[in-house]
């Protein structure tokens, strides 16, 4: 078995065996044959400061413990702190990660019929899993419980955000939605509803009843789990 090529300052990727070059390997063997670092190296394109693109990619992925979710949390500013990564390379990485997120999101959202809280969570979690602050989102549903729209209502700080009933229900009336699912995240990682969460849910449910728009659920989401008011009998 051929050993992995050494990546010292004199070892340019162009001098490697064809099977070891990430771009050529992708062409010859397909995308599944490449590691996270090799795919990232293709996005980085060229090395800098005596390190080739694969060196740079390995440094980044090692710092993220080979976890793509951790990579997606870095953002442009933090990526630029890595040696050899400037703003252009950081933007390319950020754009590629966002395309992947949107593709995954579209698999769940496209004409999805929501009949369980887990389905709603699967639709929204990709939008919210990397956030370090609170956001409030709404899933607007038609009479058949198909998703009509998924929209951000507000963004807040680490400990809270504001959801304006007028914004939520005026939009529902505009698109003729028959039901809404409320969603907000807790960056702390706790799914336990606060007193404010309980009061807001009660307020929005009452407002919806006046307009004949059903509040079907309220989800509190974290990176890997959620709390459903409907499942817990809180609606």
- State the virtual CA torsion across 107, 110, 111, 113 in degrees, nearest 10: 40
Give pLDDT, residue 10: 45
Give pLDDT, residue 224: 85
Give pLDDT, residue 231: 97
- Angle at 2 (CA atoms; ends 35, 54), nearest 5 degrees: 35
Give pLDDT, residue 1: 38
Walking along the chain (235 residues) 10 residues at a time, the average pLDDT comes out as 46 59 88 90 86 90 89 90 92 89 67 88 84 90 93 74 88 96 92 94 96 97 93 94
Give pLDDT, residue 228: 98
Q: Please state, in angstroms and as integers, the Cα–Cα distance from residue 228 to each residue in 116, 162, 219, 233, following that order.
A: 10, 19, 5, 9
**For 111-228, CATH number?**
3.40.140.10
Give pLDDT, residue 108: 58
Domains of the chain: which residue ranges? 13-105, 111-228
Tens of pLDDT, residues 136-175: 999 999 999 999 999 999 887 555 567 899 999 999 999 9
Cβ(53)–Cβ(59) below 8 Å: no
């Amino acid at each position: 078995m051929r050993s992995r090529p050494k990546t010292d300052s004199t070892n340019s990727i162009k001098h490697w065996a064809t099977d070891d070059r990430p771009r050529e390997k992708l062409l010859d063997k397909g995308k599944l044959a490449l590691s996270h670092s090799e795919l990232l190296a293709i996005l980085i394109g060229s090395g800098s400061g005596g390190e080739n693109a694969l060196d740079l990619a390995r440094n980044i992925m090692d710092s993220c413990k080979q976890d793509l979710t951790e990579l997606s949390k870095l953002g442009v500013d933090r990526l630029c702190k890595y040696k050899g990564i400037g703003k252009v390379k950081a933007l390319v990485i950020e754009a590629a990660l966002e395309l992947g997120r949107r593709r995954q999101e579209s698999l769940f959202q496209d004409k999805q019929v929501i009949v369980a809280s887990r389905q709603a969570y699967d639709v929204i979690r990709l939008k919210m899993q990397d956030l370090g602050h609170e956001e409030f989102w709404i899933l607007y549903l038609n009479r058949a419980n198909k998703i009509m729209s998924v929209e951000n209502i507000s963004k807040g700080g680490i400990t809270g955000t504001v959801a304006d009933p007028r914004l939520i229900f005026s939009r529902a009336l505009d698109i003729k939605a028959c039901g809404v699912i409320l969603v907000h995240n807790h960056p702390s990682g706790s799914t336990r509803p606060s007193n404010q969460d309980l009061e807001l849910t009660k307020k929005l449910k009452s407002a919806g009843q006046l307009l004949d728009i059903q509040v079907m659920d309220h989800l509190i989401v974290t990176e890997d789990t959620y709390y459903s008011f409907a499942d817990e009998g809180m609606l």
